[in-house]
Each structure stands twice: as C-alpha cells, then as structure tokens.
Structure 1
Amino acid sequence: MGTSNRRSNESKYGPYHIRVVLIIFSLSAMAFGLGVSITAPEQLPNSLVFTAFHFCVAFGAYSYNKMLLGISQKVCGLAVILLILSLLGYPLIKSCYKASGLYGMAVKRTGKMNETKAFEYDLNYFMNVPTKYKNEAGIKEAVHNFNFGLLDGFLLEFLILSYTAGTYVYYVMIKRLREQVCRMQMTVISPRMAKPNPTIHLNEPHLGCIPIRPTLITLSILGILGAVISCYNPLYNQFILTIIIFATHCLMLFGAVNYNEFALKLSQHIFLLILVTGIVVTCVLPVTLSCYIASGLGDTHDIMSYTYTAEEFAGGTKDVKIRFKNALIAGLATEFFLICGSALNFIQFVMIRRLKEYVITKNQNKDDSPLVF
C-alpha cells in the first residue's frame, strides 16, 4: 500500500515519470561513457568522470537517495553554467578566427585545403553579392571569410545551445525528483503537519532585500521618461520601438500602483516576449557583427575603391590579426551590453510575476493567508 502511494505521488516532467526517464537515460549514458573509454583510451579520464556522474544519478533515482540526487543536481547545475559561458565565448572566438582569415592562412601553411574547399561553393549562397563585385577578388574573399565564420559560429551556437537545453532539462528532472523524495521523507517522519497560523499576515513581496512594488514603480517611471526623451529621434523604427516601451511601462505602472492582476499578467507576458527576443538577438548579433568586422567587409571604402587580389586584400598577417582583435572586442562588448539588458528584463519579469502572485493570493484569501516568496 505504501509502495503504491509512493509511486503514484512521483513528480512528472511531461507525460513520463521522472524516475524512469532518469534511470534509462543514465544507464544509456554510462554505456556510452564506457564505450568511449574503450574505443578512445586518451579520453579515459573524461569518460570516467562522465560515467561516475551518471552512476550517481541512476543509483540516486533508483534508491530515492536524497544525498546522491543533491550532489547530481549541483554538478548538473555547474555544467549548465559552464555551457552558458562557453556559449557566450567559444562560438564568437572561433567565428572571428575563421572570418578574419587566420584560419585560412593556417590551412595554407599546413597544406590542408580540403575543409576550405568543401565549404567554398555552399557558402556563396548565404550572402547575395552584387554582380559588379563578382570579379573583384578582394570582396569575394571577404564575403567568403564572412560566410565561413558566420556559418561556423551559428553551427557552434546551435550545438552548444541544444546541449545546454538538454542538460537543463536533466537538471530540472533531478531537482523535481529530489524535492519529491524530500516531501516523502517529511511525510514519513511527521505525518501530522502543523496547521497554518491564520494570524500570520500576508507581507509585501521582496526580491532578496529589495521591495518589489516600489522598485517596479520606479523602473516604470524611468522607462516612461526614457521613452518620452527618445521620441525626439526622427527615425521611424526608433519611434515605433519607443511607443512600445512607453505603453509597456505605463501598463506595468498601472498594475503595480493599483494591484491590478490583469495589467500585471499582461506586463509579464510582454516582458517574457522581450526576454526571449533579447536572448535570440544575443545569440545572433555579436557573431554577425564580429564576422563582419573580422572579414574586412566593414572597410567598404577600401574594398569598393580598388580591385584587390586575395593576398593584397589580406594585407599581411599583421592586418589580419588586428581585424581579429577588433572583431573580438566588438563582439564581446556587444554581448556584454545585450546580457545586461536581458538581465534587467529578467529581473523585471520575476518582480512582476511575484507581485502578480501576491495580488492573486491576496484576492483569494480574505483572511490574510501567508505567502512565501
């Protein structure tokens, strides 16, 4: 009877039981790690660490071991953080390296031209080059390097992002199973839980030590003032963006001042859309800008004025290295500002969500039920 209740109360992630999915996936990963250690002995340390981690997950899920699940959760969370850091740095560096021409020069020195030739024909379809520049070796070489670096950067971002998403799902499943194990142990130890104290009052939500409602009101006023100041910009696209920012912050201000559930819910959805858009832009814009600078396409006044050969356009190893450094600095700076903007939007999204939950609970519980944030 106890076993059936134990299994029926297991948390789920989608249509499948978390415990079963974790055990199957961990056993498969262990088999893969052992296979790698046999076929590639030079990867033995990495494969042993990989196998040991998935053994902890499998044994913890099978035996409902809270300690092993907790260790696995922390290791998986650390892996997600490292993957996010590599997503921000590695594709950008490698795309700059290839777009600047340093990779092509290294290939020529080693005499291995197969990889470059394999991409040469396909990459011409990724960017439309004007016909009058088709015969100019300089612009053609620059476009080739730009496409080569851009495609490689996007491919790396896709692979790392997919692996990061899979690792995060794995982390969430471990976390939910561990929480379920903790709840089951608490139920066994203390079957009669203390009743909530009706005299505890519902307090205003905080984000750490920051009060959420005054902070949202302040950010809304600053956003409205910034949108009004930006209206002096004559650009049409900038004006449309300003109107959207102005309306969003007015809606957030109205919801925070009046405890309006509908306005807060709508603001939450808008900021979620802005946050997703910001993440997509962070993945695309820095790599594109870096490849554009590293390839030399940014120097249009030089490229359009003369007809270069590929060697003359490269300008020697020194100019190529300078373009690589400038592109890398520009890409990292762009990533930094985009990440700061996305972090601010994420904080506002979390604050709006918590204030909305506070308003919903306050409206549903007339007797001031406690709410933990």
Structure 2
Amino acid sequence: MDYATNQPLGLETPKLWIIPARPLVCVLAFIGCARGIASIFFSGNWEERVTDMIFLFLNVLLLFGAARNNECALKWSQRVVFLAVVLAFIQFLIWPVVVASYTASGMADKNNTMADIEDKLYKTQDQKKKMFVRGLMSGFALEIGTAVLIGAEILKYVLVNRLWKYAKSTENIVVGGNQYIVP
C-alpha cells in the first residue's frame, strides 16, 4: 500500500458539495473573463466599459491565483475577490436606480429627436403610468442580475478561502515524509 500518494490525515481537498473547489474557481474566473470581454465589446459607452475592464482584470488575477494554487497566490486571490464583492455591491446600489430612471424618463428610446422629447413632456396619465411601470420592471430586472453577480462573487470568495486554508496547511508538509504528522 502506497501511503505517499494519499492526502494527509484529516485534510481533504476543498469541495463545494461534490465539485472540487479549484477547478470550479478556475471555471468561474474564466466565465467572468469571458463575460468581461463580451461586455467590453458590446457596451455602448466608456462608463460601462470601465467597470467591465475592472471586473475582467480582477477575474484574470483570480484565474492566475487559482492556477498557481499556492498559499501566497491564493491569499492575494482572496483579497481580489473581496474587492470584487465590494464593487459588485456598489454596482447593486447604483445601477438599478440609474437604469430605472433612464427607462422611466423615456431616455432609453434611441430614436428620440428634440421635437419628440418636447412632445413627450405633455404625456397623458396612462402614458406616464406605462413609463413608470417600464422603469420599475427594468430596475427590478437589473437588481436580480446584480444580486446574482454578488452571489457568484461571494461563492468565489468562499471557495478561494477554502483553497487558501488547504494550501496553507499542506504547503509545509514534506513530500515523502510521514503523512500523519501535520505541522
């Protein structure tokens, strides 16, 4: 029986249910990178591109840290993911209000001319209610989307924290030494 290939006693590789944590973090970071690249290409203005570039950069750093899989790289990845959680929460506070206001005011319609805007200032009550509901629905939809983003970032943080603790506890074990002695 070869004891050198087994994990040290009491130390199992981190998992989320049955999914190993390290490949899951790499996949989530890769999905975040792909989302960031797609958002940069399809966003209409530079304000949106700046936040997408920040999230792309943070996901690239996370992917690098998860690929390196040592204690130092995972500690920095943990800090990067915490920053991404904070930024996603700030986005959750700002974007739904902006999008809902933008939609409810009628500014989201791309084909408005100045005469059309002046005509729309004198809308009927039914049209105002319709615009309000439209803005409300777009705000709620964006809230749900940013809540999912926050959940994904928190999941990444939990997984990276587990990987960091595992790497920290197994990094000092001498290869070929006694597997039952954990320093």
- Are positions 1:208 and 2:17 aligned together? yes
Residue 339 and residue 268 in structure 1: after superposition, are their counterparts in 2 closer, same or farther (change >3 A)? same
CA contact (8 A) 1:205 1:354 kept: yes
CA contact (8 A) 1:213 1:355 kept: yes
Structure-2 residue corresponding to 1:10: none
Counterpart-to-counterpart distance in 1, 2:27 and 2:110: 44
Map residues 81-96 of structure 1 onto 2, 5 A cutoff: none
- Are positions 1:286 and 2:82 aligned together? no
CA RMSD of aligned residues (A): 3.6
Q: Structure 1, unaligned stretches of length 5 or more?
A: 1-198
Residue 204 and residue 327 in structure 1: after superposition, are their counterparts in 2 closer, same or farther (change >3 A)? same
Q: Aligned with 2:171: secondary structure?
A: helix
Structure-1 residue corresponding to 2:65: 255
CA contact (8 A) 2:14 2:163 kept: yes
CA contact (8 A) 1:297 1:303 kept: no
1:212 shift after superposition: 0.5
Residue 314 and residue 361 in structure 1: after superposition, are their counterparts in 2 closer, same or farther (change >3 A)? farther
Q: Structure 1 residues 359-368 or 337-346, which shifts more?
A: 359-368
CA contact (8 A) 2:40 2:53 kept: yes
Name the amino acid aligned to 1:219: L
Q: Structure 2, unaligned stretches of length 5 or more?
A: 1-7, 175-179
Counterpart-to-counterpart distance in 2, 1:300 and 1:261: 50
Residue 263 and residue 235 in structure 1: after superposition, are their counterparts in 2 closer, same or farther (change >3 A)? farther
Q: Aligned with 1:201: secondary structure?
A: coil
Q: Deviations over 1:284-322 (max 9, x none)?
A: 11112212322344458657216859xx73422210110
- Are positions 1:359 and 2:161 aligned together? no
- Are positions 1:323 and 2:148 aligned together? no
Counterpart-to-counterpart distance in 1, 2:129 and 2:86: 34
Q: Aligned with 1:203: secondary structure?
A: coil
Identity in percent: 26
Question: TM-score scaled by structure 1?
Answer: 0.38
**How many residue pairs are counted as aligned between the two chains?**
169
CA contact (8 A) 1:201 1:368 kept: no
CA contact (8 A) 1:255 1:261 kept: no
Structure with the greater alpha carbon radius of gyration: 1
- Greater helix fraction, Structure 1 or Structure 2: 1
